[in-house]
Every structure is written in structure tokens, then in C-alpha cells.
Structure 1
């Protein structure tokens, strides 16, 4: 794992044991001596070395050096005496008997190596320009070069696999197309196009017939797509047999590995082991999957009896898609209570991809929303998370409605009216001078929302960062002052509830949670920031007080908050840490505090999908002692009728600032 720990799993006896700790992260690991008892393992470490470990004596045997960058792949020949390792710019053939280097291939950094591995008595190498070569491993004579599929095509390959007999090779990567080559003739045999939701392939493997109890004719392909789902595909018919996936993002499949050499039993040859981002391993019986996929369908018989005392429910007909569309057109587009999602909603998502959302998430009539006052009861959080997991964001057309429902906005019209009737608060009179906004409509809405917040709680009249926090939410609901105010108020009551205990200073209590998370998940980055005097007030607080609006584009920010609203309020702190982890490479090269401050105040090449992917992993493996969801309170919506009192702040400081502001204003009047 990333801490250097090595574990050995015995699937036959259903046991596992801790082997050793390398004191540094492992980049790859394989068993050696395939034709003999498995007593050795070879480990690639982040210090660019290849190490041999004896499982019988529990000792390190050798350290082999020669690479200038981290080892990405290790492949051992069937005789167990020779191995080949590869990095981005080099490949080395090692003698495992004497632990010496035999041959080395250096490649220009601009070309790069994608993958190098043994196949029978040949070495298969693929470079980043999609060129594939086969070499004789003894004489290193080039035996075959595969021609380009399409001249001038952008390089896409990043995963290759050969069949057991060495006659077929499959290559896939940054597209939906997988190329299968016939190595006997050196020609392209077929190209398989994956369904459109799949935009790329992370890894592809051949599964031989003897591993799936087939009739000896069928060969399966195990394909791990960019959507982190593992699919088994029948190669001859291109039929999808089974798809592995879970509902929780933290247990998405990350790296499939079919174990064909762990033990000598037949059962081990039929296991697929899949590792998840939370450190768990999932075992699947490939033979059972094959039998289930080819089992003839049984006739369906439905028997239903009415239980005694069961009430009779009259089912109302669901309006047609055309009727729903006509109803939306007739009503005001700002009246989100009349909106319904049909079974085929399509909208732009991250990466400009489109698709169907599947089943309807919610459907509401006008009478129902009038009675309930809020669409919160119409939303299914589980289905909405499924939409986010598949598409990355909600449809922009329905986002205000979904946000309103998830936040359970009460719609206290009379209370807000009384706050707005008090006019513009004196603290926000000069808002346009400090924050000039091109749209007068948006400026007026922001000023009125901030004034209502100041009249609701005196704290918000003295909070300097409040306009930065409220602006993006007000912009989403700028056509409805009620929804804009209640949205910002809900954010303050839940996501920012504990931010004001040390006001006017930054929230030290919350920043300590962020610091503990960063120190736990990346000690190297944390130590670098500490050594250069960079505190959480520099790398965390700017992101928090602007709720990511300064470091993300509009679409990226909306997609991020689609996910934040669906989860615990403490998940935002996890995303703050995930942002720094995604930016580790450029931050490690910066030593000046001013440059780091500028980095966290401007947009960078970090996408929402990268942040969320890292955040889901952090959420799963963080211990309860430092997990934000265990340290912070759960979500609580605003109350109906009257808004709750917001008094979690040092009142004497706020009162003193108000008195000082009044004194200065009076002195200015006297002077004028």
C-alpha cells in the first residue's frame, strides 16, 4: 500500500498475514519464479529500486537499482529467471538468479513507455505514440511491429494484454475503442466499441476458457472503464455478460487483477480480485459468473394474494411526458414547484458529455407542492447521488428545484418580507464600491440578501467575507429573493455554523480539523508547508470563505456544490484537503509564501472530478477520531414560520464593533 506495508492473502485457507513494511510506498508488486513454488516477491518502490523478498525466511534478498524514475510495471518470464521492469523513460531486463542488470532500453522523455511485459519467449513493448513491438528476449531482435490502426490518430493506448496462447493482443486506453491484433499475421483482427457512457479504458485483461468453466471456445475480456466499473465481455459476440459496481462511491473498483498464479489449486485460477479505494478486496468467482450468464431463463410466474386487512390504494395515472412539458411551458419558469423530471432527461455534464438519467427521480403535481410547500419529500437522495455518480452534476434546468428540495427551504415569505422592509443595512451601503458587479439586478439582489442577513443576526453586519460567500448562491437564485436568502442562511447555519467562535479571527477549531486531515493523508506535503511557514489560514481559509468560487469555474463550482449539498456538511472540509492533495506537485516546487497565497486565490488546472475522486477516497479511509462527519453536527434545515436564532459567536466583540462603527459614523457627520 501507500505506506509500504505488504500483506499476503491465502484464498484457499481464507487467511491473510502481514509480511513486512518497506518504509516507503510501493509502486508495483509481483510474484516471482512462476514455474516453481512461490517463495519470492519483487517490489518496486518510490526510490526507483527493485527489491526481492523471500517469503520463507521473511528477509530481503537483494536491491536492484538502475532506474531514474519510479517503476510502473514488473513482468517475470515463465522460467522465473528473468524479469523486465519499465518506467516512463526506460526498461531494464534483470537476471533474477544473480540479481544483475542484463540490458537497458532508454527512451526519449517525449516518447515515453506505456507498458512492457513478457509473452512466452517474446517481450512486448508499447510506447506512448501507440507503436507496438515484439522482441526476442534472448537476442533482442525485433520480430514484429504492428502497423497503426488509423494514420494520424491521436495516441490512445495505455493498457495491453495477450491471450494465454500468445496469438491475440488487445490494446485499449483513452477512447471507447479496443483493438484486437492477430500476432501470427501482425494484422488487426477486430475493433470493439464500448457503449457511449464509457469514455476510456483503464485496464483490460484476457480471461481464458479454463478459468471460467466454458466449453473451451469462449474467451472473455475484463474491461475496467473510466467510470470505474468492471465489465466482462464475450469477445466473439461482443456481448456484455456482467457489470461490477456498488452504490457507495468509496467502494468503486479501481484496479482489477485476475489471479492465475497465487496457489496451485484450480479454485484460485477462477478468482477475480478487485481492490477498492477504501482498501477492501472484492473476490468474484468467474466460473459462477459464466454459468449465471449462460443459464437459460426460467418462465416467470407471479402469484399475488391480498393480505388480510391490507388497505386498498387507488393508483393515480402518471401524466405523459408531453403533458408535463406543456404544464411547464404554461407556468412561470421561476415556479420550481411545478417542475417534474421525465424518464429521459439529458443535460450537459462535466467534460461536455450527454446521456440519459434512466428512471424518473421525482414527479410532483401542482396540488401536491401547494400542500407540502417544499419539494423535499419528492426527492430521493439515493437516486440523486446515482445521477451525480454517473454524470457529475445535476441538469442546469432543474438545479434550483433540486437544491431547494435537498436544503428543505421553508419558504417563510412573511418573515423575509419584514426583514426586507427595513431597507438596506448601513453596513452594506457601499457594497457596490468594494465589489463592483456589472449586472444591476444581481447587485440589488445581493445587497438586499446581505441586508436581510444583517437584520436577522448582528454578526452578519460585521462579517467581511460574507459577500464572497453569498455571491455564487445569490447568483443561482437571483430571480427569487426568498430562495436566495434562505439558501445562504442554510449554508451559514450548517456548513459555517462553527466558523464564528473566534470571530473576527479565522475559525481555528475548523482549521485544525483540516490540518489534521492533511497531516494524516499526506505527511510529505504537510511537512513541506510547515517548513515554509504556510498555515491553514493560507491554504485552507481562502477556499473556505469563498466556498471554492475563486478557484473553480462556474460549471465546476456548480458541479462541486451539487455533490456537497447531497452529503454531510463536513464533506466540504474533506474537499478542501482534496484540493491541496490534487495540487501537490506544483505546491512542492513553491517555497515563497506569496506564491502559495496567490495559488489559493486563483483558478488552477484542477477539476471538480479530480477533487471529488480524491475526496471520496479520503472520506472512506479517514479514522473516526479526525473525521469531520464525527466532529461536526448533522444537517438541520431552517425552521418553518420563524428562522432560528444565530448566536454562536462572541457577542461582546460584535457589540463592540457595532458601537465603534456608530461612533466613527457620528464623528464623520460632525466633521461634515
Structure 2
């Protein structure tokens, strides 16, 4: 199970209390919510930008209020290092000084801060439009700040501007990206007309241009370069990936993507051990907000991250290939442990399970095989046919014996269950729709679960939440629940602490959040006095997963409590009459 980190009112602390990964290696879900006086969340402060350091061990993240956090994923700690007061458009670590970082401000400037000393270092001015990217060379000596019309080359030692790349025809050409190419430290500039120009970083001397085929324009929007600087992959508003060799300046491969992928917004190579910088795994953020990983050498789709109901806006891979961070539309920041994901993908196959047969069954099988081998000649004798028929008869007898024995066992089990459970709690198996439980996860069997529940009256504590989660067939609609939570706390439950005093403030906040979501989902629950008492056992059971808690309560209310509200706001006379009789 993944961890959830709430940053409200915190300036430092641990990222996770117990390290564990969820689906696709999700390590931690970072939230920054705003609470009212009653500790009810009102809205979420969205994370906008993020960046890894050179070693891929520290993560820099900035939200829309200008709060700058540094997450140390190795030492398991985070810290609020600066407050800018406004949102930013791009961030990057200063590779020359690991404690310094660069932030692109809304006033078209770039500021440099020191995280350790928590002080202002430098101010880079000159842009006339928002800076959308900050690229730093592999040595940490220079950086490029890019806007839609101009790109500046800065020296990080003195923070002086060295070169300027401008666009003369601003109406037809727009500068998409300008970034350093690894190893060679060439500067690649990519424009709206699909032209890719390569420059020398020292004096901005033009080196060469990649000639794009004129027949079908690729509409480049996303680019990725391997760490050895030899391969460039380009994608955009088309269902194709174009792979260029930067040493020969030629297009070497075109990969056709699945029909579900119509546009690629961002791309990045995933570093692996012992690949020498010649990466093969590429991550693609598509138009549906799902991050897909693929092998460009074997053209094989590996795995994907994200959901359509809570799509990914931006993503970033660490230089060591261990971590991946994603900023979502809902404003959350997800940090993935890709090492765990690779272990799951490369896991050895499960052992083969075979049944141990009795000596009698084995003897019958060998006799039938010998008889078949004797009778496999061109002229089959009547004797072999007789033996075959007798073998089939004996096997049918065995099958009949087994079936009758299992039927008697079932009858004994039913009688035994009837003595253990009263008539009030017994449920007729004919009334259950077993077709609804055919899609249970592997390892779960509805008939066995039904017998366990009838015999013991409950499921084991360790697996109880998981089993009911599967039996109730919860939709796990993250988007719908997030929309209800974003509406904030309901006025009915603002003073919940006075009516139901709880020692755990965490449990109280979760209870307020779930009850408020139920009241926003249906207004009648905002006027139901007994809803907190009814929901509390479920909230305590599913304390670590509020979405499942909400959906379980909603399922119970919708399927088994419908008749309770027939005479609302009066008491349910029909239900009370049934209880009295």
C-alpha cells in the first residue's frame, strides 16, 4: 500500500512512516490541502513544477502558492526551503552547487536560491515572455533559459549572460525547446515548423540541421535524447515516433504507435544499469494523461502509469532511473519507485502445481496407454476395441463414484451449517446471483467465501477488508470522489467534534471528509442524524483508504438502506414495524 503525505502546516518531516509501494510502484502521494477552522479540507494547492538533482536522489517541487519543497528520497525526509509567494513556470537544480536551485518567475525573470542557507543568490533578467524551460549542461557551468521568442545562455559561475538566440520571423516560427545535448554539450533548438537546429554551446556557432521529410509533417512537440548523446527521439501530434542518429544526422527508424495514442505531450528516456547511456526504454506522456513505457529496440509496450479520471499533466524521470514523479490534474504529486516496478515485471514465473494421483488411477492410465499402443496398427483387432471400451467403462464408474461421494459431502456440509447458524442469518444460495462474482481476483472463489461466511460468521481480520472490497465490486472512481472532496466540508459536520468527541484527530478529519462527501453526493445525507453512527465502523476499518471507505458506505446505503428514507424526515415506520413484528 502506498503512503500519503499531507503538507498542510508542515515545514519538515518524514516522507513516509513505513516504506511500501502501491500500484505500478507508487511510493507516496503528496497533497497540500487547505483546511478551515474545523479541520475540514476546503481545496487543494496544486503542484506545478518538479525537478531532480544530478544524482536523482533529491526532488524539488513547487506548488501554485510558491512553496518550494525539497524531498530527499534516500534519507526519507522533506523540507520547506523557500516561499516565493507566486507560482512558477520552470524549476531546475544548479548542478554546480547542489544546494542551489533556479526558479522561473511569472514576471519573466529567473531567480536563484540557496536551499541550505535559505537565501537569495542571483537574479537573471532579459526575457519578454514566460520562461518555459531551464536546461543545465552536464558539467554545471552553463544553463539555457527558453521562452517562446528567445533563448539565453548563462554562465552559472558568475550568473552572466553570454549568448542570445533570437527569432527574426516571430509570426511563423515559435521556439518550442532549447536544451543541452549530453556528452557533446551541443544545444538543440526545436521550432514550430518541425525544424531542428544544432549549435555549439561555447560560441553558439551553427553546426547542422536535421532534415525532416516534407511529405508528412510530424508536428514535433516532444523530444528525448539518450545520455550518450547519440540518439534523438521525436514525437508530437501524430501516431509515429521518429528516431534520429545524431552522429550521422539521419533518420534511422520510424515506430508506429497504437491507435489509442494520438498525441505525445512529453517524452524521456529511462536509465538502466549497465546500458552505458544507450537507453532503450522510453516514457511517453500521451493525450489521455497516461504515462506509457515502451522499448524502442523491440517495439514492445511494457507498462503504463496513471488513470484517465485523474490524468498526468507533467512527469520527470530521475537520472539514475530509480524514481519518477508525476504532477496530476487534481494537483497531487505522485512519486513512483521504478525499481520495484521492474522487479515485478521481471519476476520469475510461479512454480508448476500438479496433482498427486492414486496408484489405482495411475494403473488404469498406463493400461489404457498400452492398449492404445497395441491397437494403433493399421488393422485394429476386436480385442483391442473391447479393452478400450472396458477401460472407458471403468473410468466412467470411477467418475460416478466420485460425483456421488462429493454430493453426499455437500449434503453433510449443508446439514452441519444449518446446525451452526440460525434460521434468521441463513441465506438461500439460490437467491444469490453467482454470475456477478465470476470476475473475482485470482485466488478468490465465491463458493468457498460463501461457505466460510456461513460457517464462521465473518472473514479473517487480516483479509476482511480486501475480501469485501472484491465482493462488493467497488468502482474505485477516483475522479468522482476527488470532485466531491474538492467541494470542501459540509456545514452539517463542521462541529462533529462536539457531538462525537474522538481522541484521534486523524480519524476525526477522515470522518468529516467522508461524511461531507456523502452529503455532497446526496443532500438527504446532510440531514440524517444517525449517519455518523452508521458510518463510523466502516471509517475505522478503511481508515487508510478514504475512497474505498466512501464507496463501501455508499454501496450499503444504496443497496440495503433504500427503504429507510421512504418517510423522511419522519422515522422509517416500515422498518420499525418489521422489527416489532
Normalising by structure 1, we get a TM-score of 0.45
Q: How far is the alpha carbon of 1:62 from its aligned partner?
A: 1.3
Residues in 1 aligned to 2:260 and 2:86: alpha-carbon distance in whole angstroms? 37
Residues 192-207 of structure 1 mapped to structure 2, 5 A cutoff: 192-207=255-270
Residues in 1 aligned to 2:562 and 2:272: alpha-carbon distance in whole angstroms? 63
Specify the alignment match of 1:139 in structure 2: 203
1:176 and 1:380, CA in 2 relative to 1: closer, same or farther beyond 3 A? farther
Q: Does 1:88 align with 2:148?
A: yes
Specify the alignment match of 1:177 in structure 2: 240
Residues in 1 aligned to 2:174 and 2:342: alpha-carbon distance in whole angstroms? 38
SS at match of 2:248: coil
For residues 369-414 of structure 1, the C-alpha deviation after alignment (integer angstroms, 9 at most, x for no partner) is xxxxxxxxxx97829x69xx9xxxxxxxxxxxxxxxxxxxxxxxxx
1:624 and 1:139, CA in 2 relative to 1: closer, same or farther beyond 3 A? same
SS at match of 1:292: helix
Q: How far is the alpha carbon of 1:178 from its aligned partner?
A: 1.5
For residues 535-567 of structure 1, the C-alpha deviation after alignment (integer angstroms, 9 at most, x for no partner) is xxxxxxxxxxxxxxxxxxxxxxxxxxxxxxxx5
Specify the alignment match of 1:286 in structure 2: 338
1:624 and 1:186, CA in 2 relative to 1: closer, same or farther beyond 3 A? same
Residue of structure 2 aligned with 1:69, choices 119, 129, 133: 129
Q: How far is the alpha carbon of 1:13 from its aligned partner?
A: 1.1
SS at match of 2:283: strand
Residues 268-287 of structure 1 mapped to structure 2, 5 A cutoff: 269-287=321-339
The structure number with the bigger radius of gyration is 2
Q: Which has the higher contact order (CA 8 A, sep 6+)?
A: 2
> Does the aligned pair in 2 maintain the 1:218–1:235 contact within 8 Å?
no
Q: Does 1:231 align with 2:283?
A: no
Residue of structure 2 aligned with 1:60, choices 102, 108, 120: 120
Residues in 2 aligned to 1:296 and 1:632: alpha-carbon distance in whole angstroms? 45
Residues 252-267 of structure 1 mapped to structure 2, 5 A cutoff: 252-260=311-319
Residues in 1 aligned to 2:224 and 2:524: alpha-carbon distance in whole angstroms? 48
Residues in 2 aligned to 1:159 and 1:50: alpha-carbon distance in whole angstroms? 23
Residues 429-448 of structure 1 mapped to structure 2, 5 A cutoff: none
Specify the alignment match of 2:280 in structure 1: 219
Specify the alignment match of 2:54 in structure 1: none
SS at match of 1:290: helix
> Does the aligned pair in 2 maintain the 1:258–1:273 contact within 8 Å?
yes
1:124 and 1:214, CA in 2 relative to 1: closer, same or farther beyond 3 A? closer
Residues in 2 aligned to 1:31 and 1:13: alpha-carbon distance in whole angstroms? 18
SS at match of 2:475: helix
Gaps of 5+ in 1: 261-267, 319-342, 344-378, 390-566, 575-622, 648-672
RMSD: 4.3
Q: How far is the alpha carbon of 1:68 from its aligned partner?
A: 0.8
Gaps of 5+ in 2: 1-62, 356-405, 418-427, 440-471, 488-511, 526-557, 570-581
Specify the alignment match of 1:297 in structure 2: 349
Residues in 2 aligned to 1:83 and 1:109: alpha-carbon distance in whole angstroms? 27
Specify the alignment match of 1:113 in structure 2: 175
When the two structures are aligned, how many residues end up with a matched partner?
Answer: 349
> Does the aligned pair in 1 maintain the 2:484–2:520 contact within 8 Å?
no
Residue of structure 2 aligned with 1:209, choices 256, 272, 280: 272
Q: Does 1:79 align with 2:151?
A: no
1:20 and 1:50, CA in 2 relative to 1: closer, same or farther beyond 3 A? same
Specify the alignment match of 2:83 in structure 1: 21
For residues 16-74 of structure 1, the C-alpha deviation after alignment (integer angstroms, 9 at most, x for no partner) is 100111111111100012xx551210110111001111122211111111111110000
Q: Does 1:382 align with 2:475?
A: yes
Specify the alignment match of 2:187 in structure 1: 123
Q: Does 1:41 align with 2:108?
A: no
Specify the alignment match of 1:516 in structure 2: none
1:269 and 1:291, CA in 2 relative to 1: closer, same or farther beyond 3 A? same
Residues in 2 aligned to 1:18 and 1:46: alpha-carbon distance in whole angstroms? 21
Residues in 2 aligned to 1:119 and 1:635: alpha-carbon distance in whole angstroms? 60
Residues in 2 aligned to 1:125 and 1:144: alpha-carbon distance in whole angstroms? 11
> Does the aligned pair in 2 maintain the 1:114–1:157 contact within 8 Å?
no
> Does the aligned pair in 2 maintain the 1:218–1:236 contact within 8 Å?
no
Higher helix share: 1
Specify the alignment match of 1:410 in structure 2: none
Residues in 2 aligned to 1:271 and 1:640: alpha-carbon distance in whole angstroms? 47
Specify the alignment match of 1:245 in structure 2: 306
For residues 571-590 of structure 1, the C-alpha deviation after alignment (integer angstroms, 9 at most, x for no partner) is 6997xxxxxxxxxxxxxxxx
Residues in 2 aligned to 1:232 and 1:317: alpha-carbon distance in whole angstroms? 38
Residues in 2 aligned to 1:293 and 1:269: alpha-carbon distance in whole angstroms? 15
1:300 and 1:109, CA in 2 relative to 1: closer, same or farther beyond 3 A? farther
Residues in 1 aligned to 2:481 and 2:271: alpha-carbon distance in whole angstroms? 45
Residues in 1 aligned to 2:277 and 2:483: alpha-carbon distance in whole angstroms? 53
Specify the alignment match of 2:227 in structure 1: 164
1:316 and 1:96, CA in 2 relative to 1: closer, same or farther beyond 3 A? closer
> Does the aligned pair in 1 maintain the 2:87–2:106 contact within 8 Å?
yes
